[in-house]
Amino acid sequence: MIDFLHEAQQLFPYTQALRRDFHMHPELGHQEVRTAGIVAKELQSLGLEVTTGVGKTGVVAMIEGSQPGPVILLRADMDALPIHEETGAEYASRTPGVMHACGHDAHTAILLTAARLLHTIRHELPGSVKLVFQPAEEGMGGAEGMIADGVLDNPKVDVTLGLHIWNEQPLGWLGLAAGPTMAGTEIFKLRIKGKGGHGAIPNLAVDPILAGAHVVNALQSIVARNTPPLKAAVVSVTTFHGGEAFNVIPPQVELTGTIRTFDLEIREMVLRRFDEIVQGVAHAMGCQVESQHTRMTPALINDAQAAQVAQETARHLLPDSQIETNGPFTMGGEDFAYMMEKVPGLFMFVGSANPQKGLDYGHHHPKFDFDEAAMPRAAALMAATAIELLRKHSL
């Protein structure tokens, strides 16, 4: 096997410069115009034909192998978050209130680096590589937009591969598990309507705050009493808005929150119980309720064979790694699951924390930053795994 790790380490200044530039100039979902422009320019500099505007601000390019063969899709996400950065780093965000707090700056730089590695050996590729730079991963439908624009077709994709740097684990850790890896996510919104009135005369009002409080309590029974103890589910009420004055019972309250599950049967049960509890409890308290829940992402399920290929590749390429083969890794969601739902593949986690350097704040924290030494490891792993998956698929 080509020593991709050595090659990626040679390219580290390139990767780091890109990542820090993206970090200084973060862009929110579907606004990644500057980022997409740099991505397109870098790909064009390799002589690749580049398609922009896929799923609004996404970028796609192909590395054609010399022989006909399967097509692997490699994906990076490009969007930042509406968070005000507090790292104090010299490469901190120059845009107030917007920050790369999830590491998508790294993902974009890593995939551009992996593209260079694969482009160098394009004549030996046992198939073709579709490079996909996706916008709007953070709950804004970026993956679905690219799928609608045909990213999985022309040429048809045979296997998918993506990764996330992972600050929950130290540098050197790799998460390469078969099966459920990240949760399926739903968002819900409730409007509980009672009857407003004077705070001193509650008997003439129907209090939606009390009804809402009972709904919040009762929803906890879904995980505690309805979910099999060896299965995972989360039901979190995260906003509760109502009322303006201390002596007025408001006419309505609004609640929002999220539901996380892995199994489809558990998901169906949780959603059914959710509806029963919300309707039943609100009505019992004399209120009407408008309720809706929307799927944000399916559960992310890694293909077993692809996971095995990645594990073997990692053992050769990064022998110092601690490889975790048992998922799931988080109840967080990831919209790459939409692509993997259509074309099975693998989503890898690359440990990136370094507590000695203070680089261990969690994803989405205003002080989030990671050890950049994770980037060449990730780029090499992505390139090498891509080749092995193409080879497996050609058999």
Q: Which residue has its beta carbon closest to Ni ion?
A: 102
**Cα(23)–Cα(85) distance, integer angstroms:** 10
- Return the number of the residue (48 or 102) whose C-beta is nearest Ni ion: 102
SS3 content of the chain, % helix, strand, coil (to 5): 35, 30, 35
98 contributes a contact to Ni ion by CB under 5 A: no
Stretch touching Ni ion by CB under 5 A, among 101-109, 127-135, 284-292, 311-319 = 101-109
Q: What angle do CA 76, 60, 178 make, to 5 degrees?
A: 40
DSSP string, 197-239: EETT-GGGSB-HHHHHHHHHHHHHHIIIIIS-TTS-EEEEEEE
Residue in 170, 217, 164, 208 with CA at minimum distance from that of residue 340: 164
Q: Which residues are catalytic?
A: 79, 137
Shortest Cβ 80–Ni ion spacing (Å):
10
- Return the number of the residue (177 or 285) whose C-beta is nearest Ni ion: 177
- Return the number of the residue (102 or 269) whose C-beta is nearest Ni ion: 102
Shortest Cβ 110–Ni ion spacing (Å):
13
Residue keyed to tokens 């994906």: 75
Stretch touching Ni ion by CB under 5 A, among 95-103, 207-215, 296-304, 351-359 = 95-103
- Pair 75, 160: CB distance under 8 Å: yes
Environment class of 284 (CB within 10 Å of its CB; exposed 0-12, middle 13-18, buried 19+) = exposed
- Pair 348, 111: CB distance under 8 Å: no
**Cα(148)–Cα(10) distance, integer angstroms:** 38
Shortest Cβ 330–Ni ion spacing (Å):
10
Shortest Cβ 173–Ni ion spacing (Å):
17
Stretch touching Ni ion by CB under 5 A, among 98-106, 249-257, 318-326, 385-393 = 98-106
- Pair 216, 337: CB distance under 8 Å: no
- Return the number of the residue (165 or 318) whose C-beta is nearest Ni ion: 165
**Cα(128)–Cα(289) distance, integer angstroms:** 52
102 contributes a contact to Ni ion by CB under 5 A: yes
Shortest Cβ 182–Ni ion spacing (Å):
10
Stretch touching Ni ion by CB under 5 A, among 96-104, 219-227, 244-252, 370-378 = 96-104
**Cα(101)–Cα(263) distance, integer angstroms:** 29
- Return the number of the residue (102 or 190) whose C-beta is nearest Ni ion: 102
Strand partners, 159: 72
337 contributes a contact to Ni ion by CB under 5 A: no
Shortest Cβ 164–Ni ion spacing (Å):
6
- Return the number of the residue (102 or 318) whose C-beta is nearest Ni ion: 102
How many angstroms separate the first and last alpha carbons of the chain? 18
- Return the number of the residue (8 or 102) whose C-beta is nearest Ni ion: 102
- Pair 180, 341: CB distance under 8 Å: no
Residues found in the chain:
395
**Cα(178)–Cα(180) distance, integer angstroms:** 7
Shortest Cβ 73–Ni ion spacing (Å):
18
User: What mask, x for binding Ni ion by CB under 5 A, covers residues 52 to 91?
Assistant: ----------------------------------------
Binding site for Ni ion (CB under 5 A): 102
